Amino acid sequence: MDQAIYRELIMVGVDAKDSEDAIRQVGTLFEKYGFVKDTYVDAVVEREKVFATGLEFPGISIAMPHTDIVHVNKPGVTVAKLAHPVEFEHMGEPGRKVQAEMLFMMAIVNPEDQIGTIMKVLGVFQNEEAMEAFKKAETEDEVYEVAKKYIG
């Protein structure tokens, strides 16, 4: 994926009542700007029930919801800071809950790019400087600059 981060796909202060609400609110950005088909959001919600995407890192928890390429028009990553943490299931440990503070929702068109994109996002949270920059970013412009720098 050449470019993943677009300014119009950044959200700050998403006030979601639960993980499904967070996915629906954030996913609407993809749909609004033509990145995904109108089937995308429902497909992400359903996939999250089977393949959880919550991850916990020292100092921050995130979720990386996504779905199959048939629902995607063009690639991108929506970066959203939530107004308050929302519970997601942990990606690798069924039954374990994660209080996600940020969502990195992915629209991927090439299956070979999926692992690379996921690894790039995961790498951000293994980089203490990048993680701190995301935590400190308060506006959509600030989040965009951090995402552009560390994700591309």
Cβ–Cβ contacts within 10 Å for residue 111, how many? 9
CATH number at residue 114: 3.40.930.10
| Each residue's pLDDT expressed in tens, for the chain with a length of 152 residues | 467 899 999 999 999 999 999 999 999 999 999 999 999 999 999 999 999 999 998 888 999 999 999 999 999 999 999 999 999 999 989 899 999 999 999 998 887 777 777 788 788 888 889 989 999 999 999 999 999 999 88
Count of domains forming the chain = 1
| Residue 30 structural domain | 5-150
In angstroms, how far apart are the furthest CA atoms of the chain?
Answer: 37
List strands edge to edge, sheet with 76-89: 5-14, 76-89, 97-107, 60-63, 54-57
